[in-house]
Structure 1
Amino acid sequence: MGEYVAMDRQAVRDDYARTRRTFHALLDTASRAGLDRPSDGTRWTNRQLLWHMLFGYIIARVLLVLARAFSRLPRRLSRGFAGLLDAGIKPFDLINYLGPCGAARVVSPRRMGVLFDWVTGALERRLAAESEADFARGMHYPVRWDPFFKDFMTIADIYRYPAQHFDFHHRQLTLDEPG
């Protein structure tokens, strides 16, 4: 199963602060043409990929709720749930692709920055309230859905996930880097 690695709350807060600064710098310096340019290695534009990077933080809040709920049940139930989700990889991939396409059309870059601040703040507040014992709780996840999902993820793993996801996709942006 998953192996619990001690939680360093400050390291997670530092990662959130770093990605928040980076996200705002990208948004503040991006031209309209840069936002509409294709990203590297995805079918998304930079604008759509930025939304997807933000969404990694939004989905972490949902993953935490799932982990808290499933960790109170027999592990076989979360294993079955993860298997069911993995079996639905084709619809997931389509929704995962189309979601940022639509969201980036209606959520302005300025609003993305506001949402990024809000969601990272909410995660930091929840992180501060977690007990040490809670960090070791977890559940099985659909490993085909994301390269950073492990078969079993603890709550500590989930807090670390959005910065890993952000850093991976940051390398795919084709925006001019802020000076």
Structure 2
Amino acid sequence: MNPTKAEIEAGYRRVQGELGARLAGATTEDLRRRSSGTRWTNEELLFHMVFGYMVVRALLPLVRLVSRLPAPAGRAFAAVLNAGTRPFDVVNYWGSRAAATVFNRRRMARKLAKTIAALTRQLDRETPASLARSMPFPDRWDPFFQPVMSLNDVYAYPTLHFDFHAKQLSLPPT
């Protein structure tokens, strides 16, 4: 990966615009329709895409902490998380379904905007050394999680996740 801060922030801005356009162009029926290739509705999948940004806010302090531990501890932590992939998948699915009832079409764009604003403020304060901090990751949890990820990779992750799932939406073109 290794995009620059400017590229990461440009991706954040693009995604905000895309989410707004998709929500503005979708009817209630469009949002209730099943997405393509997932068990979620379009609205649930859109929330899941937003949730990827929310997760990064929790991952940033974790990477800062685990990157300071001895390497075997980080690898063991990632292995334990990988062992819990099945329960994670269940929680990920049902959590997105439930959360989409709260962060629905009327709230999810605002939530994304606030989350991206916070991520951008944090990213702007990062140094090259802090962005290079890394830790082992549970690479079975997500196709974009790599065995080892830097803080820079984590900042870039949610846009990759968003773009991947955007192809699964069964919404009219924007």
Q: TM-score, normalised by structure 1?
A: 0.94
SS of residue in 2 equivalent to 1:176:
coil
Kindly indicate whether residue 29 of structure 2 is the aligned counterpart of residue 30 of structure 1.
no
Cα displacement string for residues 47-99 of structure 1 (whole angstroms, at most 9, x for unaligned residues)? 00001000000001111111001111112111111100110111101001101
Match of 1:171 among 161, 167, 172: 167
Extract unaligned runs of 5+ from structure 1: none
Q: Residue 60 of structure 2 corresponds to which residue in structure 1?
A: 64
Aligned-pair CA distance for 1:128: 0.2
The residue type paired with residue 99 of structure 2 is A
Cα displacement string for residues 110-164 of structure 1 (whole angstroms, at most 9, x for unaligned residues)? 2101000000111100000001100110100101100000000000100110000
The residue type paired with residue 109 of structure 2 is G
Identical-pair percentage: 44
Aligned-pair CA distance for 1:107: 2.3
SS of residue in 1 equivalent to 2:34:
coil
SS of residue in 1 equivalent to 2:140:
coil
Extract unaligned runs of 5+ from structure 2: none
What is the root-mean-square deviation of aligned Cα atoms in Å? 1.1
Q: Residue 138 of structure 2 corresponds to which residue in structure 1?
A: 142
Task: Kindly report structure 1 stretches of 4+ aligned residues shifted beyond 4 Å.
Answer: none
The CA distance in 2 between the partners of 1:14 and 1:133, in whole Å, is 22
Aligned-pair CA distance for 1:34: 0.3
The residue type paired with residue 168 of structure 1 is F
Match of 2:84 among 81, 84, 88: 88
Q: How many positions carry a matched residue from both structures?
A: 174
The residue type paired with residue 135 of structure 1 is L
